[in-house]
Amino acid sequence: MSPAPDPSLFDKVVNLCKRRGFVFPSAEIYGGFRSTYDYGPVGVLLLRNVKEAWWRSMVQLRHDIVGLDAAILSPPAIWEASGHLQNFTDPLVDCRNCRERFRLDKLDDPGECPNCHAKGSFTEARHFNLMFKTYAGPVEGAGNEVYLRPETAQGMFVNFKNVLETSRKRPPFGIAQIGKSFRNEITPSNFVFRTREFEQMEMEYFVPPDEADKWFDYWCDERMQWYVDLGIPEDQLRLRPHDEEELSHYSSATSDVEFLFPWGWDELEGIANRTDYDLRQHAQASGETLDYFDPALGERYVPYVIEPAAGATRTAMAFLMAAYDEEEVAREGQGQGESRTVLRFHHRIAPYQVAVLPLSKKPELQEPANEVLGLLQPRYTCDYDETQAIGRRYRRQDELGTPWCVTIDFETLDDRAVTVRDRDSMAQDRVPIDGLLDHLEPKLS
């Protein structure tokens, strides 16, 4: 049986994000800008680690997937051919009573306004296109429109031929991309879960059409395992196939990886069989040939595409939620009880892998502290903190999710050893500085 969602977790994580510098509301000094967020000093590390872990599993550890970084600004021709200009819409309804706007497909009860509880007060649904439009060049007007991409995927389709010709890859092969996407969401909500500017991690895997079903199943399994390997408990994840009406205009099958958020199950990633829809559309609209000649079969075909499409910012939020824990512990060094908040991140996801903490600011501890930093920084992202009582510094690192703290004390001056503290068990080991890298390496690889 799966665990129940914990609604109280939401505010706890959002508060911690602000307090510790993970995520700030954008333009906060001007009163905030509800639909976007800024990633602070530790949030930017967390987000980089999420993206790095994805890139590592998708590109670095494979030989069949290459990377791409395509432009965000794109001409209408791309979105005309992809179908987004016509189909990338959400059904928008207004409440005639309180004037709030809603996305019809996300309402629990389409007969009652969740804001003012008026019944039957909604207008007819209008189709609202989610793409942001702007103008290229000095003249704002017809013919100069460009769009901010609402997904990174089209960059891979329009570069299919370039990649095929330059990378020596042959189907089955993939193109991976991480980058910003923009959607004029009707109701941005739930912190960084749904924002108007966000980051995606998408991969288009081009396969022979008769192998598409096999590869779809393969990618569903691979992607579920990625979250589990990085520490999300299996019972907080599920794979949910879309039913017929829910499918996007380009898809013949889609399954969502869902996470148990504080408000219930919701999407982290969609894995879709996009068929040959996109390549055919772009081939037809551009006049280019976007297919593959298979010399073994002696025939040409338009590859089918299996797409795992994840959100980097949304996934970072899921890692935060899954990592959050509170527990009663004996106060370190004092034997009294207290509660601590700890983010039990996997070490690849944690913003800092190691914190270097000289016990005091006295100059004689600076030299060994610098030596330890010099050893660790080339391999790991390290925090350095020399103020406050050590117990409070440990609590701060717990709230940042730092798996290991290295403390330099006055004994270090005699024995050239340091104290290594484990975030989860709070156990402390005395380790010689000369053996520190060997000690940490198996724990952080």
Instruction: By CB under 6 A, name the binding residues for ligand ATP.
Output: 151, 183, 185, 194-195, 198, 200, 267-270, 309-311, 313-314
> Looking at beta carbons, which residue is closest to ligand ATP?
311
Q: Which is nearer to ligand ATP, 185 or 386 (CB)?
A: 185
DSSP 86: H
Q: How far is the CB of 421 from ligand ATP (least distance, A)?
A: 35
Distance CA 331, CA 20 (A): 21
Distance CA 248, CA 255 (A): 11
One-letter amino acid of 418: V
Q: Which is nearer to ligand ATP, 194 or 347 (CB)?
A: 194
Q: How far is the CB of 395 from ligand ATP (least distance, A)?
A: 31
Largest CA distance in the chain: 78
Q: How far is the CB of 199 from ligand ATP (least distance, A)?
A: 8
Answer whether 238's CB lies under 8 Å from 258's CB.
Answer: yes
Q: How far is the CB of 132 from ligand ATP (least distance, A)?
A: 12
Q: How far is the CB of 129 from ligand ATP (least distance, A)?
A: 13
Q: How far is the CB of 181 from ligand ATP (least distance, A)?
A: 7
Token pair of 293 as six digits = 């000649």
Distance CA 379, CA 388 (A): 27
Q: Which is nearer to ligand ATP, 268 or 382 (CB)?
A: 268
Cα-atom radius of gyration of the chain, to the nearest Å?
A: 25
Distance CA 193, CA 10 (A): 11
Q: Which is nearer to ligand ATP, 314 or 395 (CB)?
A: 314
Name the helix (H) or strand (E) containing 295: none
Q: Which is nearer to ligand ATP, 95 or 309 (CB)?
A: 309
DSSP H helices, 168-292, are: 212-229, 277-286
Q: Which is nearer to ligand ATP, 268 or 372 (CB)?
A: 268
Distance CA 74, CA 406 (A): 48
Q: How far is the CB of 127 from ligand ATP (least distance, A)?
A: 15
246 SS3 class? helix
Q: How many residues does the chain have?
A: 445
Q: How far is the CB of 87 from ligand ATP (least distance, A)?
A: 12
Q: How far is the CB of 252 from ligand ATP (least distance, A)?
A: 15
Q: Which is nearer to ligand ATP, 74 or 195 (CB)?
A: 195
Q: Which is nearer to ligand ATP, 224 or 309 (CB)?
A: 309
Burial 132-145 (b: 16+ CB within 10 A, else e): beeeeeeeeeeeee
Q: Which is nearer to ligand ATP, 151 or 398 (CB)?
A: 151
Picking from 442, 433, 236, 228, the residue whose alpha carbon sits closest to that of residue 353 is: 442
Picking from 328, 234, 159, 166, the residue whose alpha carbon sits closest to that of residue 2 is: 234
Distance CA 201, CA 216 (A): 17
